[in-house]
Amino acid sequence: MNSQEKGRAYWRANLKLSAVLLAIWFTVSFGFGVLLVEPLNRIDFFGFPFGFWWAQQGSIYVFIVLIFVYAFAMRRLDRKYDVDEREG
Amino acid sequence: MDVQTLTYLFVGASFALYIGIAIASRAASTSDFYVAGGHVHPVANGMATAADWMSAASFISMAGIIAFLGYDGSVYLMGWTGGYVLLALLLAPYLRKFGEFTVPDFIGRRYYSGTARVVAVISLIVVSFTYVAGQMRGVGIVFSQFLDVEITWGVIIGMGVVFFYAVLGGMKGITYTQVAQYCVLIFAYLVPAIFISMLVTGVPVPQLGLGATVADGSGLSVLEKLDRVLVDLGFGPYTDGSKSTIDVFAITLALMVGTAGLPHVIVRFFTVPHVADARRSAGYALVFIALLYTTAPAVGAFARLNFIDTVHDQAYESMPGWFKSWEDVGLIGWLDKNADGVIQYAPGAPFEGLPTYDDARGSNGERTLVNPPTDSANEVYVDRDIMVLANPEIARLPAWVVALVAAGGVAAALSTAAGLLLVISSSVSHDLIRNTFARQLTDRQELRYARIAAAVAIGVAGYLGINPPGFVAQVVAFAFGLAAASLFPAILMGIFSFRMNKEGAVAGMVTGLVFTFAYIVYFKFVAPEHNHEGYWWFGISPEGIGAVGAALNFATAAVVSRFTPAVPAEIRTLVDNIRVPRGAEEPHMH
């Protein structure tokens, strides 16, 4: 691959990763916490109605994990496509 | 020692700490002043971002709002945290790579247009000023409640402290004071929360305590008990909402997108050394924020339960000291409608309007109210904001905890105010003075203008804090809608689209801003009597309309950019360049 192709492949990989993570972001907050909250509330989760737990606790924990997964995966992509920063 | 002496001690010690840090980290160049020289460690930046982000509203008001809204309060929890995912994935790393000082810098360069830059500056100033006035007010309230000084003096003292470290230290001074302020505020938030969780459930972790069994032998979990108690009193259950699904959806989205578009949050990611640090730093920021945000719903639920237990069906004479002291300040009011000397708590407003007292005392010793009563069975008015501040007293915690909460509230308000004032002054000195009117400034001259702009901004913010125009409190929440509808789409398209040109971006920002502004102004000020579901478009309240504004911004920009000249070649190179981390330099390359 020449550097232009590399750059394009890097960007495609980045978009794919971001799309997957944003789909999870949407599912846990707008999906579980808003749209599906009523059916999920029939399930008991450690003393919480499950939908309520997603809205007030669970979604926030998942958000944190998503950002760290992104930071970690992107660093690997940076190296794989040789576009990482040279540590100064 | 009594509460007041302890409070003076705690608040005084924290001020000494902030000022000491500010002196140790003075700004020597514009790069220091705007972005702390770009040398902030990602964990420190995460902490500073958390303090910057969590305002007096998060610290003082949020748990109280959740206590009274129940499930509907989730919009704030998800909305004010989910935005960090958007920020980390879609904006922060690219803006860090771009490597300038301000948000209008990016918009002006990417859209090769002074007009775009000025529109961005206007959006930024509108958003930041509405926000900062609320912070100054928060400082004033804490001072007047705990230190027994006039609100005016509270605001002036707060202004003095912010003036000292923001004008002297710029971003560098602010960053390290914010790290200290984060430590103060999170400690002050968690200590009473842990105590109360222990008291109510015996579980020391509030996040788990919220789901645990109440330690009263009933065998019910906290939420089951709360649902049951509220339904008995005639309220809806705590875990069910009363807002429509589409409105909850829209408000959450507007707050998330707005969070990612807030200039004072975005610029924090210009201060770290590398692109990879910007990604990680957003994660650390959210960890530090989540510590408070996952605790708040527990605090809210415990507070509501304690409040009902203490107040409902109890004689006024047996009320504890906190009830009467908040009544003295005017944040609690009791109207004994059935003249039985016992407080009844039920849904609905107890009387019309905010409590207005005459100077007399009723037969039970209560302050008498002149408000006309309503038909509801409810007799007690309680201001939501007092929940966090009164919590230590409601749960009978020691005096030092009360003093700690006061210091935490001040830390939360000051840190956010300082961050906002900094973005206002950088936009004025850098984007307006240097890049629009006087391109010949030296670095030293620009630094002087930045300090003058910061000083003027503090003065204006303080004035608004002392003389709040009636609308400030209402408008603060809408800063998010405006940021969502104007800045976020422009930045996002600037990174992810080669085709987006200046005509599209400017048309999009103006459309989003004008639409959102008009919708809010119509329902809040022009025709407040229409401000309910029947009149809202698609059932979306003014709080959530920023989500529609953002969509309109995207749509307008896409259409306009198709019919206007293409983007110049050098801008395509710029976009190519910000998409890869390699070559990120120190954040100044004029």
Mean pLDDT per block of 10 residues along chain B (590 residues) reads 84 88 82 81 92 85 88 93 96 91 90 91 85 74 71 82 80 88 92 92 93 87 92 90 91 94 89 91 96 95 90 90 83 88 91 85 88 90 82 82 87 86 85 77 83 87 74 66 93 95 94 92 84 86 93 97 94 92 61
Q: Cβ of A48 and B223 within 8 Å?
A: yes
Distance CA B422, CA B52 (A): 11
**Which site among B66, B71, B85 would you substitute to test the A interface, given the most A Cβ atoms closer than 10 Å to its Cβ?**
B85
Q: What is the pLDDT of residue B474?
A: 59
C-alpha distance from residue B501 to each of B104, B238, B509, B554 (Å): 16, 48, 12, 12
Specify if B521 maps to a domain: yes
Q: Cβ of B81 and A21 within 8 Å?
A: no
Q: Which residues pair with B357 in a beta bridge?
A: B369
Distance CA B540, CA B252 (A): 11
Q: What is the pLDDT of residue B518?
A: 92
Specify if A85 maps to a domain: no
**A83 closest CA partner among B581, B525, B5:** B581
**Residues B67, B72, B73, B77: is their CA dihedral positive or negative?**
positive
Residue A25: its chain B contacts at CB < 8 A?
82, 85
A50 touches chain B (CB under 8 A): no
Domain of residue B288: give its range. Answer: 3-303+398-578
Q: What φ, ψ does residue A49 adopt, rounded to 5°?
A: -65, 135
CATH code, domain with B428? 1.20.1730.10
**Which residues of chain A fall short of a pLDDT of 70?**
1, 87-88
H helices of B497-544, in order, are: 502-521
The two tokens of residue B500 are: 């987006």
A70 to chain B: closest CA residue: B89
Q: How far is B246 from chain A (nearest CA, A)?
A: 9
A19 touches chain B (CB under 8 A): no
**B333 closest CA partner among B318, B316, B310:** B316
Specify if B338 maps to a domain: no
Specify if B495 maps to a domain: yes
Distance CA B403, CA B10 (A): 7
Q: What is the pLDDT of residue B560?
A: 96
Specify if B262 maps to a domain: yes
Specify if B344 maps to a domain: no
Specify if A30 maps to a domain: yes
Specify if B419 maps to a domain: yes
Residue A57: its chain B contacts at CB < 8 A?
207, 210, 294, 297
DSSP state of B351: B
The crossing angle, in degrees rounded to 10, of helices B151-201 and B3-24 is 110
H/E stretch holding B387 reads helix B386-394
Tally of domains in chain A: 1
A24 touches chain B (CB under 8 A): no
Domain of residue A28: give its range. Answer: 3-80
Specify if A86 maps to a domain: no
Q: What is the pLDDT of residues A23-37, one digit of tens each?
A: 999 999 999 999 999
Q: What is the pLDDT of residue A20?
A: 98
The two tokens of residue A9 are: 């492949």
The contacts of residue B133 (CB under 8 Å, 6+ apart) are B461, B464, B465, B468, B472, B476
Q: What is the pLDDT of residue B22?
A: 82
Q: Cβ of B275 and A21 within 8 Å?
A: no
Residue B88: its chain A contacts at CB < 8 A?
67, 70-71
A84 touches chain B (CB under 8 A): yes
C-alpha distance from residue B443 to each of B29, B104, B429, B544, B590 (Å): 7, 19, 11, 42, 11
Q: What is the pLDDT of residues B271-324, one digit of tens each?
A: 888 999 999 999 999 999 999 999 999 999 999 998 898 899 999 988 888 888
Specify if A87 maps to a domain: no
Tally of domains in chain B: 1
Specify if B73 maps to a domain: yes
Give the ipTM: 0.96
Q: Cβ of A47 and B253 within 8 Å?
A: no
The contacts of residue B324 (CB under 8 Å, 6+ apart) are none
Q: What is the pLDDT of residue A88?
A: 46
Q: Cβ of B89 and A21 within 8 Å?
A: yes
DSSP state of B332: E
CA gyration radius for chain B?
Answer: 24
Specify if B181 maps to a domain: yes
Q: What is the pLDDT of residue B469?
A: 60
A–B interface: beta-carbon pairs under 8 A: 140
Q: What is the pLDDT of residue B206?
A: 94
Of A55, A61, A83, the CB nearest to B74: A55
